[in-house]
Amino acid sequence: MCGIVGSVGLKESHKYIIDGLKTLDYRGYDSAGVAFLNKKIELFKAVGTVDKLSSIIPSDKEGFVAIGHTRWATHGKANLYNCHPHLSCGKKFALVHNGTIENYQEIQKKLLDKGITFTSDTDSEVILNLIEFYYSQEHDVLTSIRLAMKEIIGTYAICLIHEGEDKIYVMKNASPLLIGLGDKYNLVASDGSPMIEYTDKFIELDDKEYGVVTSSSYEIFNIDGEKQNKSFVVKEAELVKHSLNGYDHYMIKEIEEIESVVKRLISEYADGSHYKFDPEMIKKIRESDHIIFLGCGTSYHASLVGGRYFEEMGIPTASYIASEWAFHPMFPGKKPFVIFISQSGETADLIHCYKIVKERGYESLILTNTKGSTLERRCTYSLLLHAGVEVSVASTKAYAAQVTALLFLVAEVFNLDYVRKDLDIACEVISNIRKELKGKIKEIANIIKDKNDIFYLGRGYDYYLSLEAALKLKEISYIHSEGIAGGELKHGPIALIESGTPVIVFITDHITAASMRGNIEEVKSRGADVYVISTSKLSKPGDAIVVEDYPSYLSSIIVSSIAFYLAYFVSLLKGYNVDKPRNLAKSVTVE
Dihedral of the alpha carbons of 536, 457, 406, 288, in degrees to the nearest 10 = -130
The total of other beta-carbon atoms located within 10 Å of residue 334's CB is 8
Closest separation in Å from C-beta 1 to ligand F6R? 10
Query: Is residue 254 a contact point for ligand F6R (CB under 6 A)?
Result: no
Q: Assign residue 170 a region: left if phi > 0, alpha if psi is -120 to 50, beta otherwise?
A: beta
Residue 13 or 155 with smaller CB distance to ligand F6R: 155
Residue 35 or 353 with smaller CB distance to ligand F6R: 353
Closest separation in Å from C-beta 267 to ligand F6R? 23
Closest separation in Å from C-beta 445 to ligand F6R? 18
Which residue's CB atom is positioned nearest to ligand F6R?
297
Q: State the sign of the Cα–Cα–Cα–Cα dihedral 440, 441, 444, 449.
A: negative
Query: Is residue 323 a contact point for ligand F6R (CB under 6 A)?
Result: no
Q: Which stretch binds ligand F6R (CB under 6 A): 64-72, 293-301, 419-427, 544-552?
A: 293-301
Q: Annotate each residue in 472-491 with x if it binds ligand F6R (CB under 6 A) or - if it does not, as one string.
A: x--x----------------
Closest separation in Å from C-beta 525 to ligand F6R? 34
Query: Is residue 394 a contact point for ligand F6R (CB under 6 A)?
Result: yes
Q: Which stretch binds ligand F6R (CB under 6 A): 83-91, 207-215, 292-300, 434-442?
A: 292-300
Catalytic residue among 45, 235, 253, 586: 586
Residue 211 or 306 with smaller CB distance to ligand F6R: 306
Residue 129 or 342 with smaller CB distance to ligand F6R: 342
Residue 471 or 570 with smaller CB distance to ligand F6R: 471
Please name which of 388, 381, 312 lies closest in space to residue 340, comparing C-alpha atoms: 381
Cβ contacts of 371 within 8 Å, gap of 6 or more? 235, 236, 238, 384
Q: Which stretch binds ligand F6R (CB under 6 A): 264-272, 434-442, 452-460, 470-478?
A: 470-478
Catalytic residue among 2, 159, 353, 379: 2
Residue 131 or 379 with smaller CB distance to ligand F6R: 379
Q: Which stretch binds ligand F6R (CB under 6 A): 40-48, 54-62, 164-172, 468-476?
A: 468-476
Query: Is residue 296 a contact point for ligand F6R (CB under 6 A)?
Result: yes
User: Interior CA angle at 66 toward 588 and 83, to 5°?
Assistant: 50
Residue 387 or 471 with smaller CB distance to ligand F6R: 471
Q: Are 308 and 318 in contact (CB under 8 A)?
A: no
Sheet holding 233-234, edge to edge: 40-47, 31-38, 65-71, 3-8, 186-189, 178-181, 201-204, 233-234
Residue 232 or 576 with smaller CB distance to ligand F6R: 576
83 noted as active-site residue: no
Q: Are 160 and 93 in contact (CB under 8 A)?
A: yes
Query: Is residue 556 a contact point for ligand F6R (CB under 6 A)?
Result: no
Q: Annotate each residue in 330-359 with x if it binds ligand F6R (CB under 6 A) or - if it does not, as one string.
A: ------------xxx--x--x---------
Q: Are 543 and 532 in contact (CB under 8 A)?
A: yes
Residue 367 or 532 with smaller CB distance to ligand F6R: 367
Q: Are 571 and 449 in contact (CB under 8 A)?
A: no
Query: Is residue 258 a contact point for ligand F6R (CB under 6 A)?
Result: no
Q: Are 440 and 544 in contact (CB under 8 A)?
A: yes
Pairing outcome for strands 364-368 and 336-342: parallel
Closest separation in Å from C-beta 297 to ligand F6R? 2
Closest separation in Å from C-beta 349 to ligand F6R? 8
586 noted as active-site residue: yes
Q: Are 383 and 365 in contact (CB under 8 A)?
A: yes
**Residue 338, amino acid:** V
Quote the CA–CA distance of 522 and 417 in Å, as a whole number: 41
Query: Is residue 297 a contact point for ligand F6R (CB under 6 A)?
Result: yes
Closest separation in Å from C-beta 183 to ligand F6R? 33
In angstroms, what CA-CA distances link 379 with 198, 340, 353, 364?
Answer: 28, 9, 11, 5
Backbone torsions φ then ψ of 307, nearest 5 degrees? -60, -45
Closest separation in Å from C-beta 54 to ligand F6R? 27
Q: Are 185 and 9 in contact (CB under 8 A)?
A: yes
Q: Which stretch binds ligand F6R (CB under 6 A): 278-286, 294-302, 510-518, 525-533?
A: 294-302
Among 30, 588, 589, 590, interactor with ligand F6R by CB under 6 A: 588
Q: Which of residues 85-104 bind ligand F6R (CB under 6 A)?
A: none
The number of angstroms, rounded, from the C-alpha of 468 to the middle of its chain's C-alpha atoms is: 15
Query: Is residue 466 a contact point for ligand F6R (CB under 6 A)?
Result: no
Q: Are 35 and 207 in contact (CB under 8 A)?
A: no
Q: Are 16 and 75 in contact (CB under 8 A)?
A: no
Query: Is residue 400 a contact point for ligand F6R (CB under 6 A)?
Result: no
Quote the CA–CA distance of 458 and 424 in Å, as a whole number: 25
Quote the CA–CA distance of 131 and 443 in Å, as a whole number: 58
Residues with catalytic roles: 2, 586
Q: Where along the sequence are the contacts to ligand F6R (CB under 6 A)?
A: 296-299, 342-344, 347, 350, 394-395, 471-472, 475, 588
